[in-house]
Amino acid sequence: MSGYEIAISGLNVARQALQIIGNNIANAATDGYHRQEPIISPLAADPMAVMPVGLGAEVTGIRRTGNTLLETEIWKQRPELGQADQEQTILASLESILGDMATGGLASAISDFFSALEELASEPDSPAFREKAIGASYNLATQFRVLGEAIGELKEQILREARQTADQINDLAGRIASANTIVRDLQARACSDANLLDIRDRALTELTDLAGVRLVTGKDGSYNVYAWGTPLVLSSHPTEIEVDHTGLGTIGVSVKGASHYDSEAHGGRLGGLLALYNELLPAVKDDLDTLAAEIISRVNALHAEGVGRAGSFDELTGWRMAQGPIADWAMPVSAGDIHVRLIDTATGQAVRYTVTIADPLTETLADIAAKFNAVQHLSASVTEGRLSLVAEAGYEFDFLPIVTADPASSTLTGTAAPTLSGVYAGATNQTLTATVVGTGQVGVTAGLTIEVRNAGGDLLRTLNVGLGYEAGEPLDLGDGLFVSMSGGTLNAGEQFTIEALSRSDPTGFLAAAGVNALFSGTTSDTMGLVSRIRTDASCLATSLGTPGLDNLNLRRMIGVGETPLADLDNDVPADAFRVVITRVGHWVALREARSESLQNLLEELTRQRNDTSGVDINEEAATMLTLERMFQGMAKYLAAVDRTHQYLMDLV
């Protein structure tokens, strides 16, 4: 009967091999599929036979073609590509937002703001230009806020995507663990399922796109998968992960429920999302916040010292400030003197008072309010964290740095008296000392002069107030200051001092507390225009002179846009924003180049893998033709054996 056995074994081999070929062809377009080959072995002859002849053939297994080294290298490179692609996608979106801001948004708003101040400076009494400056200020704050909020929204989108990615990782880990269970059971029975192995490899490949994984294959054929030091899959046991805030302004990945978050996890889309949320976007936001803070603090510091067409103030209220030392405020405050003027509205006489910040590390807003409250005709209080300054009836106050008409101090005993005027244009506050040289009558005595020296004793001016001088004529002290002497007598060696203020608040306290500020907020996404100025353009502090008609404060604020700022790498504000755009563009270009390089590498590795394990339809068709002929041949052989046996039966 061995003839029948041989025929049947051959038919079975052909049938089973054709099934394997059919499976190959059916999966020719399946990504990651490994070509399968039948393992055909001969059946040994009956050792007891007189003439041992083989009993045919059998399919003893299925060989799954592949190259482990290539597969491992592909799984190693895919997380790098996944992270580069993820970062490039989000950064390209950010670049697009910044690009829009560059052409019609923030860059234009910065330029328009300083241009509007320049126009108003040319005609400081123009209502139209004043309204235009208010509009430009509002637009600048809006554009900063829109961009800051856009980055915040982008971070929220990243957090949502990171959580969704963690869910996908959990699903893939579960699928790999389930496949491990079946693979392990099959191996225990000395069986295998090549398609199941492909399904598991496909899940692992998808997982490498999402996370930086490390694979360890167990002795039982199981895949043990680790990511960021966490075992995602151990044999048939998956571990779920989650993404959440770390409490440090970052997000991280942790085993679900463990709350031990790793914010520096690298690799795959999830690694890219963490890097974007924790490093790249905050770097851009920090640059924007620094730029916004510089403009806010510097413009506000100047605006606080000026007045607008509305003139001096009967009351002012600042922002809500945090409790504790003023050194902890968002805007910096240093030790020094704040100079406040109290004006009698009936006479127009102004008296300057000094409020001293001795130690910002220990003094609070309430402490400074108490010092303001000690100023005559001015009351100060803190309500709900806001500093409120209120002048008594019949008085107003301001922080103009203009000199007071009377000297700060005087030892003059003669009948002549000095009158001061002007706005000091020097770089720093200082006290000038005027000393009378000679004794005599103002405008009459020859050689009667006044020597003016700075705090260091350097001679700045020698003023002739004797023969040829007309009493009451202003004499130039330099840097925008003037003095005139009334008629009368002067005595040699007597002196008077002039308090020359470049800044009435060099401490930065008024700007930090929001007193007479132009902009509110401290960051790009909190920046706004103070409502008092938005509703009343006459409150825009354009001037440093009492009528509020000069453009001196406008000129100082315009200078902010022209001055290199140390915190902005010595760039002017407009250039600093362009640097931000350029930096993001550089990041995008780097990741595009890296992505392209990795993509080319993976394409080459995939091509090599496909050469080894991919399905070639032509080769499969040729093999199928061979098997078909084998089947036909075995069928003929079976028929011949059957006829032979029939002949023998007939003879019997």
- Give, in degrees to the nearest 5, the angle at Cα 356 between 291 and 403: 85
Range scoring the smallest mean pLDDT among 215-219, 441-445, 506-510: 215-219
Of 606, 612, 611, nearest in space to 81 by CA: 606
Q: What are phi and psi of 233, to 5 degrees?
A: -140, 125
102 pLDDT higher than 50? no
Mean pLDDT, residues 642-650 taken together = 80
Q: Tell me: pLDDT of 582 over 50.
A: yes
How far, in whole angstroms, is CA 46 from its chain's centroid?
80
Q: What percent of the chain has pLDDT over 70?
A: 98
Note the helical H segments in 105-126: 106-122
Residue given tokens 């405008």 in the structure block? 443
d(CA 218, CA 171): 21
At residue 360, does pLDDT exceed 50?
A: yes
> Band of the pLDDT at 391, cuts 50, 70, 90?
very high
The confidence score (pLDDT) of residue 187 equals 77
Alpha-carbon Rg for the chain in angstroms = 44
Q: What is the pLDDT of residue 547?
A: 66
Q: Over the range 2-22, which residues count as b (16 or more CB within 10 Å of their CB) and which as e?
A: ebeebbebbbebbebbbebbe
317 phi/psi in degrees, rounded to 5: -130, 135
Q: Is the pLDDT of residue 103 over 60?
A: no
Give the 3-state secondary structure of residue 547. coil
Question: Is 300 a residue whose pLDDT tops 50?
Answer: yes
The secondary structure of residue 260, as a DSSP letter, is -
What is the model's pLDDT at position 191? 72
Among 6, 7, 9, 21, which residue's Cα sits nearest to residue 625?
A: 21
Which pTM was predicted? 0.83
Contact 225, 214 (CB under 8 A): yes
Helix %, strand %, coil % of the chain (to 5): 45, 20, 30
| Domain ranges within the chain, ordered by starting residue | 2-65+614-651, 75-96+141-313+516-613, 409-500
pLDDT classification of 212: cutoffs 50, 70, 90:
very high
User: What's 317-331 look like in SS3?
Assistant: ECCCCCCCEHHHCCC
Q: Between residues 40 and 407, which one has the greater pLDDT? A: 407
Given pLDDT bands bounded at 50, 70 and 90, which one contains residue 104? low
Q: How many helices (H) and strands (E) does the chain have?
A: 13, 26
Q: How far apart are CA 556 and CA 301, in angstroms?
A: 10
Name the helix (H) or strand (E) containing 59. Answer: strand 57-64
Mean pLDDT of 397-416: 93
Beta-carbon contacts of residue 531 (< 8 Å; ≥ 6 apart): none
DSSP 622: H
